Amino acid sequence: MKDMDSKSVASQKKGRLVCVGTGLNLAGQITVLSQSYIEQADLVFSLMPDGFAERWVKRLNKNVRSLQPFYAQKGEVKNRRDTYAQMVDAIVTEVRLGKQVVCALYGHPGVFACVGHRAIEQLQNEGYFAHMEPGVSAEACLWADLGVDPATSGHQSIEASQFMFYQQSISPAAYLVLWQIGLAGEYTLTKFHTSFDKLQVLVNLLQQWYPLEHEVILYEAATLPIQSPRIDKLMLKDLPQARLTDISTLCIPPCETLQFNHQVLAQLGITANDLG
C-alpha cells in the first residue's frame, strides 16, 4: 500500500532524476540505455575524469552543467562534505522545477560516490521518480586489466581512509582493494592528497596481515582509448614513496591460501577430500 501511494505521488510530479555512469574509458563504457537518458534529458549534471569526457557529454546534450566548480577552487579551503551537499542541492532543485534531470558520473554512479545516492533518496522521499543505472566502475576495469577473477579467493573493497580510521577485519587470503589511496588518512576533507607519513601509518597497519616485501599493485584504468592502464607492482614497504594520483587504486593480492573450515565441512557431513 505504501508503495502504491509513493508511486501515485511520484506520477503526479513531473520532474525526475536518473543517475547514470559513463564508465572510465571515454565514450566506450557507457550503456546504450544510459547514453539515451543523457541525450533526452532537459538538463545533465556531469562529473567527468577530464576535459575530453566533458566535451563528449556536451556533444550528447547541449544542456550540460559540470559539478566540478563545487569543489574547492584555487586557494579556497572547502570541506568536501559541503561540496557534496551543494551538488545534491543543485540536482534536487532542478528536479523540483519539473525537469527531466540526468546526473552523469564517471565510473559507476553509486560506487564509492555518495552524491547520486543522496539525491535519489531525497527526491524519492519527496515523491519524485528517481533511480540509478549502473556503470563500469574502476574496480570492474581493474579485474579485467589484471586478468584476475576475484572469485578465486574473494575480495574486500574498502575506502583507504575508512580502513585506517575504523576497525576492519581483513582476510589475507582474499584480494584487498583500497580506494582513494591518494587520499589515505586525509581526515580534514579539505586536501586532495595524502603524505609520506600517512602512507607509512597505513603500511604499519597492513603489516599485521602482509609481509613488508609483499607485492602490491598501484592501478589506474585508462580513461582514453589511446592510453594503457597503469599497473605498477611494488613492495608494500615502498608504498609511502610511490607516486599517487587522485585516480590511483591499490590492489593487494592474497598472501595466504584459503584454509578449509573443517567445522563447517563436518556439519555438512563432508571432508576436504570431497571438494576435490
Structure-block grid coordinates of residue 72: 574547492
Judged by CB under 6 A, the stretch of 88-96, 167-175, 176-184, 210-218 that binds ligand SAM is 176-184
Catalytic residue check, 230: no
CA-closest candidate to residue 198, choices 160, 235, 170: 160
Contact set for ligand SAM, span 220-239 (CB under 6 A): 220-221, 223
Q: How many residues of this chain bind ligand SAM (CB under 6 A)?
A: 18
Instruction: Please tell me whether residue 256 binds ligand SAM under the rule CB under 6 A.
Output: no
Catalytic residue check, 84: yes
The residue among 175 and 219 lying less far from ligand SAM, judged by its C-beta, is: 219
Alpha helix segments (H runs only) across 97-184:
115-125, 138-146, 160-165
Amino acid letter for position 252? I
Tell me the sheet residues that pair with 47: 105
Instruction: Please tell me whether residue 119 binds ligand SAM under the rule CB under 6 A.
Output: no
Judged by CB under 6 A, the stretch of 65-73, 75-83, 91-99, 217-225 that binds ligand SAM is 217-225
Letters for 83-102 (x = contact with ligand SAM by CB under 6 A, - = none) are --------------------
Instruction: Please tell me whether residue 34 binds ligand SAM under the rule CB under 6 A.
Output: no
Query: Given the rule CB under 6 A, which residues bind ligand SAM?
Result: 24, 107-108, 111-113, 137-138, 179-180, 182, 219-221, 223, 246-247, 249
Please identify every residue annotated as catalytic.
Answer: 80, 84, 106
